[in-house]
Chains A and B, each alone.
Chain A
Amino acid sequence: QKEVEQNSGPLSVPEGAIASLNCTYSDRVSQSFFWYRQYSGKSPELIMSIYSNGDKEDGRFTAQLNKASQYVSLLIRDSQPSDSATYLCAVNMGGNTPLVFGKGTRLSVIA
């Protein structure tokens, strides 16, 4: 069974703090990793993708990948109330297969 695990939260952080969202996956041959943000009542939207070990930064967002530990994370610096949403981790577990999604972590940024 190919699985993607996330802490469901809610994760509460004060405005201006760093929010750290974590994701683990079961399949070592996984190739590509994605973070989607989903506001309540809306569809998921891609915010970050990462394909190789290390860090990838885009504005206030940093994705971190460690394939040896089967771990991917998303850091949100200077968190804003508008970052309050559910964050979904998605993994391509090799071959011509659809993405596998975690259950999502609900983030709440408190003003």
Chain B
Amino acid sequence: NAGVTQTPKFQVLKTGQSMTLQCAQDMNHNSMYWYRQDPGMGLRLIYYSASEGTTDKGEVPNGYNVSRLNKREFSLRLESAAPSQTSVYFCASTPSIFSGANVLTFGAGSRLTVL
């Protein structure tokens, strides 16, 4: 069982470049999430998708877009990367946001550096 798979694991971008982080889960989960983690800041929610066909902003959505391609896949796009977006990005999923037992399963993370 792969769980949550993120690609790429590492990426270096120049300011202004665009890129897409890919995430796929094989657990038949309905809800998926993108977090960023910066030193001393904990996990901050960028966007989430409660179910296929829906997406919602989290705490820090500016500069990002998302696509819930199907039930398995949830991508995060940086249209014009900025140094402030240098971070570690985690994708996660849960069976359903509509359950209080919101146990998250995380991917391995994607380390992004914007020069």
Chain B, 25-83, CB within 8 A of any chain A CB: 33, 35, 40-45, 48, 50, 58
A96 to B50, CA, bound (A): 8
**Contact flag A49-B103 (CB < 8 Å), given A101-B42, A102-B42:** yes
**Is the pair A98, B58 in contact by a Cβ cutoff of 8 Å?**
yes
Assuming the contacts A31-B100, A96-B97, A98-B102, asked whether A103 and B41 have C-beta atoms less than 8 A apart, the reply is yes
Pick from B41, B97, B101: contact of A97, CB under 8 Å: B97
Specify which of A36, A97, A98, A99 lies most central, judged by the most chain B CB atoms within 10 Å of its CB.
A98
Residues of B near A32 (CB, < 8 A) are 100-102
The minimal Cβ–Cβ distance linking B12 to chain A, given in whole angstroms, is 17
Measured between alpha carbons, how far is A34 from B97 in the docked complex, in Å? 15
Is B100 a contact of A43 with CB atoms below 8 Å?
A: no
Closest to B107 in A: A43
Closest Cβ of chain A: how far from B93's Cβ, in Å?
12
In whole angstroms, what is the CA distance A111 to B24 when docked?
Answer: 40
- Contact assessment for A51 and B100 in the assembled complex, using a CB-CB cutoff below 8 Å: yes
Q: Is A92 at the interface (CB under 8 A from chain B)?
A: yes
Which residue on chain A has the smallest CB distance to residue B97? A96
Which residues of A lie under 8 Å from residue B35 when comparing CB positions?
Answer: 101
| A45 to B106 alpha-carbon distance, docked (Å) | 7
Distance (whole angstroms) from the CB of A6 to the closest CB of chain B:
8
Structural contact, B90 and A46, CB atoms closer than 8 A: no
Complex CA gap A43/B58 in Å reads 20
Cβ contacts under 8 Å, B98 to chain A: 96
A interface residues with partner B (beta carbon < 8 Å)? 8, 31-32, 34, 36, 42-46, 49, 51, 88, 90, 92, 96-99, 101-104
Q: List 12 A-B contacts (CB under 8 A).
A: A42-B109, A43-B107, A43-B109, A44-B106, A51-B100, A90-B104, A92-B100, A96-B98, A98-B45, A98-B48, A99-B102, A103-B41
